[in-house]
Amino acid sequence: MRIPTVFTPELQKQYHVTGRMVAMAGGLLFAVSAYLPWAYTGAALDNMSYLGGPSTLQFLGLTLGLIVAWCAAMGWIEPWADRRGFARPLIRVSKRVGWTRGSKAMGIGLLAYIVLILVVIAIELRGLVAVEWGGWVALVAALMAFVGTRLLIAGRAPSLERVRSAAWVEIVAIALILLLALLLVAYALNQNDGGIFLSIIAFAGALSAFVLRSGIGAWISEAGQKHRTVLVFSSFLVAFLFPFTQNGSDANMSIATQVLVFAATAVGLNIVVGLAGLLDLGYIAFLGAGAFTAATLSESAFATINWKPPFIVVMLIAGLISASLGLLIGSPTLRVSGDYLAIVTLAFGEIFRITMNNLDGQSGPNLTHGSSGIPAIPNLELFGFDFGKPHVVFGITLGRFSNYFFLMLLIMAVIVLVFTRLNHSRIGRGWVAIREDEKAAEAMGVNVFGLKLLAFAGGAFLAGFAGAVKAHVDVSVIPDQYVFLESAFLLAAVVLGGMGTVIGVILGATLLKLLPEKLRFVSEYRMLLFGLLMVVMMRFRPEGMIPNQRRALEFHSDDEELVQEIEEDLPYEFAEEKS
């Protein structure tokens, strides 16, 4: 809801003040509703049937409600504390936070959160009649918060990133954020109820929207840039600690390992799509090439090549074969672009799958046993360490998939290092120039064809690396694992996360791999939900969840100019510290 500019300043101010009161009341009422029963029985979600005993999801909702109330109240707290001289350094920092902008995002998130929970309760308990009175109170409170935040006028943009803070404060903030992320992911994976998983995703989305809109996200990003080494090592440390939070669960660690394989492949595709701007719809073939190479060179009784080199050598061979396929498909086709290149790469992916099916000893050489593939691939054994055996560390049993998870972490570190080095090199700048305007890049002396070919080969090499590990994780390799739909999911992970970024692509790949696993109770509608998710993202955030700064400016430059024009036309400036 946008306040018409024809309203007088006094009327606009009344809307603003009324919105603060309604939003604050809605947030506080929602927090209180967490202590009320939301469901008739405890069979729905995480047992929301108690009076006075909030469940975990209700407690998360309470947190969102308090944030809305706090944001709304800051319009009065800041001037009051400033006039009385209370905590002036904190007030100066607070004035740089976009509390109103954050509360607008949180109002939408709070409403989406409670609507999702009520829908899940109705589905699991077969009807809205199973929603208790406390759930309806929470819905009314969320509606109040939503309407109240819509009446607010955002005022000036947040500028928290300009605040100078001590290095130890920034490092502690990074560590706390990563720790909270670890706890949230661990809790989500330990839930067998898909509704709980979706509710946690909704909570994380609402919280992330608030952080980004309020300017806190910009401060965190700035802190991460200043302490990049700390951020990288902390991220890998958190990922390393993740298996210790799963109590030896092979099911969760299997999912986590597949997520890492998928994410590593998506980062390789990010070179082709995100940096060079080449639309590849057959990228899954490079992952399959690495997997089949590792399978044929493994110790399996069904392997068709008698040479059994060490696994490190196998990984290099798998990467080189995948890169060779990239050169093979790239050399004759990279002189075309756009839709034509997409069709050619899609055809290549299908050609690869059909070729693997034909290498059965009848239609061609017996290398892959055709549609049966290569089963019984044994577990890896590197430097005396058997990846198939459980190991006890600090009293916690780490099973087979935990071992492969640690291996994929090391491979992911190598892939991320290669990607970031290429991205910030002369080669990376050449790829970006080709993506922006191929003709202009060629006119400026950029070797367009050579860099395109290098992007294809480099991305394929990284996919081959991941495929070599995937063969041993899956125990068997068959051609039907590498179909077009997998290529589509990889491309969606890159677009959804943010083309040209590492963290964004890893986040996108994680979501797209986790959602099908946790939404098995709606297996018939998973593709529908996936399509709706992509439509919503392309409409409201086309640059991705964690976008590259250049692409974010490309997508929103017109919008920012429009916002500036609107703010200049407003007869009354509702700055946060004056409202």
- 493 vs 488: CA distance, rounded Å: 9
Mean pLDDT of 486-515: 80
Cβ atoms of 34 and 54 within 8 Å: the answer is yes
What is the spatial distance between Cα 423 and Cα 548, in angstroms, rounded to a whole number? 12
The answer to which of 165-169, 213-217, 452-456, 551-555 has the lowest mean pLDDT is: 551-555
Please determine, for residue 97, whether its predicted confidence score (pLDDT) is greater than 80.
no
Mind listing the pLDDT tens digit for each residue in 429-442? Answer: 888 888 877 788 87
Cβ within 8 Å of residue 524, ≥6 positions away: none
pLDDT on residue 567: 43
Q: What confidence tens digit (pLDDT) does each residue in 256-311 have?
A: 888 888 888 888 888 888 888 888 888 888 998 988 898 888 888 888 788 888 88
Could you write out the three-class secondary structure of 256-317?
Answer: HHHHHHHHHHHHHHHHHHHHCCCCCCCCHHHHHHHHHHHHHCCCCCCCCCCCCCCHHHHHHH
Give dist(CA 511, CA 522) in Å, integer.
Answer: 16
Choose among 3, 218, 216, 200: nearest CA to 109: 200
For 81, left (φ over 0), alpha (ψ -120 to 50), or beta?
alpha
Tell me what pLDDT residue 141 has: 92
pLDDT (average), residues 36-44: 83
- pLDDT, mean over the chain: 79
Q: Choose among 453, 466, 454: nearest CA to 287.
A: 466
What is the pLDDT at residue 548?
64
Q: What pLDDT digit, counting tens, does each position of 361-397 carry?
A: 787 787 888 888 888 888 888 777 778 787 777 777 7
For CA atoms 140, 144, 150, 151, give the dihedral sign.
Answer: positive
> Residue ranges of the domains in the chain?
9-166+194-206+557-569, 246-516
Q: What is the dihedral of CA 530, 535, 537, 538, to 10 degrees?
A: 140
CA angle 234, 162, 166 (to 5 degrees): 50
Instruction: Write down the pLDDT at residue 80.
Output: 67
DSSP state of 380: P
CA-to-CA distance for 551 and 561, rounded, in angstroms? Answer: 16
Q: How many CB atoms lie within 10 A of CB 336?
A: 12
For residue 29, give the nearest of 68, 75, 73, 74 by alpha carbon.
Answer: 68
- Rounded average pLDDT over 164-175: 78
* pLDDT for res 501: 77
Report yes or no: 541 and 117 within 8 Å, Cβ to Cβ.
no
- Residue 457 DSSP one-character state: H
Q: What percent of the chain has pLDDT over 90?
A: 4
Q: Which two tokens stand for residue 491?
A: 């491309």
- Specify which residues 131 forms β-bridges with: 39
Separation CA 153–CA 148 (nearest Å): 11
d(CA 239, CA 402): 11
pTM of the model: 0.79
Contact predicate 399/252, CB 8 Å: no
Of residues 465 and 516, more confidently modeled = 465
Closest CA to 303 of 249, 374, 235: 374
The secondary element (H helix, E strand) that includes residue 397 is: strand 396-398
Please state which of the four CATH numbers 1.10.3820, 1.10.3470, 1.10.1330, 3.40.50 is assigned to the domain occupying 246-516: 1.10.3470
H-type alpha helices, 54-193: 56-84, 88-94, 99-124, 133-150, 167-189
